[in-house]
Amino acid sequence: MSRRWLASGLVLAFSLAASAAGAVEPPNVQALHVYIVDYNTGSVLYDKAGTEKLHPASMSKLMTLYMLFDALKRGDVKLTDNFHVSKKAWSTQGSKMFVPIDGDIMVEDLIRGIIVQSGNDACVVVAEGLAGSEEAFADRMNKKGAEIGLKNSFFVNASGLPDPNHLMTAQDLYVLANRLFADFPEFYHYFSEKEFVFNKIKQGNRNPLLYRPGTGVDGLKTGHTEEAGFGLTASAIRDGRRIFMVVHGMTSMQDRADETGQLLDWAFRSFGDYTVAKKDTILAQANVWMGQQKTVPLTVAQDLLVTLPVSERDKIQVKAVYDGPVAAPVAAGQPVGELVMTIPGMPEFRAPLVAAQEVPQLGFGGRVVAMLQQMIFGPEQAQAEQPPAEQQPQPQTQTN
């Protein structure tokens, strides 16, 4: 009968180096919604009302950009194509690119007009250019949003202008920003542009962290209305590690600049990405029943990268568990058990363990002997009577 076993020989030396230490407790900020995620691992570092619906204001322009980038990537439009400016687009209120009525605007200029200048008028031009009307475009936004994993978002317009039904969550804004970065790397560079001149009017990017040395911020979008307050969806990279951050519901531009910078520094300082197990490195041994070897070495199918609190890295506990003994034959790569890692104050982390090599089944005579041994001595002693397995070297944890 299969029973839950602790695998033998598990050695993971968690001497994880980090350049800075910090507390896991986040800074005290006034923002109503915060959602911070490590891009490499998908680990959520801070979730404050992340699934609560909010008015995203101009941060929802990221969905308009997703639709435009998607059309560009499919070849439906080109950067050099022109979209016509209707009276509705020209008269749209709020932040503006200052498109001329009855003019024709190049798509690449519209991208910059949305990202850098946060032009509501530019968003309407894009919506009408792609779908014929802003209403039809909003329907497409909702359909595409559901396809890419936005679970709690509903779009009424292309710009984020106030509407009681135009809603997102901080979590969905993260998902959208992540998808923009992953799906359209060829267009992501527009988010880092600091200024754009159109119609002889120069405007600067409203993202305050683009102007601060050392932040590593290279996108994405701010938002503000009287009802929503001030918000920022941002992404930053430092030393090869990328973090996405959504902060919303602040009361001033200064608070937005200060609190987002503070939270970003905290996220990079307080957590690190660590490779705790390398693919094909032997981590443990599992007992095998009716096999030509009495144990099978266990490994992970791919490098195991995890995000851990820097201050808690010496408190990690790791164990390998499996239902065993594992019945032969065992195929190389066959899932056998799990690597279970626990850290105080964090959810338990689990990753699959697989057989590092095949173990053929004993021949008929060997199986008969093994069955007799089990009947006489019990399963544990019968396992001990099998020929000893070759000893495998044990790994040390790698840092990243």
Residues with active-site annotation: 58, 61, 118
Closest CA to 30 of 263, 243, 233, 222: 263
Closest CA to 225 of 92, 65, 94, 51: 94
Query: Taking a C-beta distance cutoff of 8 angstroms, is the pair 221, 58 a contact?
Result: yes
Count of residues making up the chain = 400
d(CA 98, CA 80): 19
* Beta-carbon contacts of residue 245 (< 8 Å; ≥ 6 apart): 34, 35, 36, 37, 232, 233, 234, 235, 236, 260, 263, 264, 267
Q: What is the DSSP letter of 115?
A: H
Q: What is the DSSP letter of 168?
A: B
Q: Is 369 exposed, middle or buried (0-12, 13-18, 19+ CB in 10 A)?
A: middle
Closest CA to 209 of 222, 197, 196: 222
d(CA 226, CA 74): 37
What are the tokens at 223? 């938002």
What are the tokens at 225? 């209305």
Helix axis angle, 61-74 to 120-131, nearest 10° = 40
> What's the per-residue H, E or C state across 62-75?
HHHHHHHHHHHHHC
Query: Taking a C-beta distance cutoff of 8 angstroms, is the pair 60, 155 a contact?
Result: yes
